[in-house]
Structure 1
């Protein structure tokens, strides 16, 4: 997917959350790092239209996130920092089925769609479970299944390994690295994005670095040390 920022900026109540940004992204794996409040979450939400630019524009494959909001949402999926907040139905399988059911899928076709994405992520055994019965890693994968079943071209992750133990962190990281879809990952987990082809570093509402992961991590540590 082609992601383009054309002098896009975000201002909330007179505060500049993101300075004007012109940028083109095409890589399959894009990391986004920065200190808390640096603008990285605003940047990600500009991409899927959850935040509209105060000036300039953001486009995905030529679709304007402000004018073509519905089409943009169909192309993107978003995994929140706490996936328990986006699993809203009482049973995992029902939650995964919610999106395709809303699009008119039903019966055998619906069951096959849910089963296929569950098998893909290795969580078929969780379909009849309740969210509160799952581990943090299982919750992440259940939330991801509910996104992937809608066939997005881009998945945005907000701190996907936050507060996970080592076993679950490795499982979620391996899943992200193995995705067929384009992925943009906001993270403080530097190991997770260490081999990404492109990493953006944000600092106080501006893009401070854009390049290879190794150099981006060095820049991020310089900023953190100030």
Structure 2
């Protein structure tokens, strides 16, 4: 019996990296996982890994989280096919370099759309179901760049800072409905976005902890690996 038995977890950016590792880890603990991402082939690879390692069938919903209609359609489909959504892992991200002087408006908007607006849209779409259930665990992936900035990564740093503020706001708004909203900073991971760093699987126990917080547990906080 896993600690996430009978829970449904929706994971954005599930096709690679931390999203894939988390999908496998959550399913290993008994969760039904719903995989979101823009590249269907990558989602299918994750679903195959989940099946191989856990025997569970993942639900694939190809989604651009920055597109509100796609997000609404995805959440509707997830609720229809799984009956509930207990956990959101807002992991989808775009990590592109660019100083304030160099970035075009479109490049700026693209990173803000995925890294900040995406979590807003996905969370907003799921909140009514979580409120009705009086239960929800929302995990937003952040970065040290959110507070110290980083020359050359203006849009990413600003988006993550915004996400941290959004998380604290949501925590304040939703705690009375049994919904806990927290941040997780995994540090540098070896993914498509970064060639060096830790294996993403190393940090998934922390995500399990945040996904299984008890009633009245911490909310609006940030947990960092190590």
From the two aligned structures, give the one with the greater helix fraction.
Answer: 2
Give the TM-score, by structure 1 length: 0.36
Structure with bigger RCO (C-alpha 8 Å, 6+ apart): 1
Higher strand share: 1
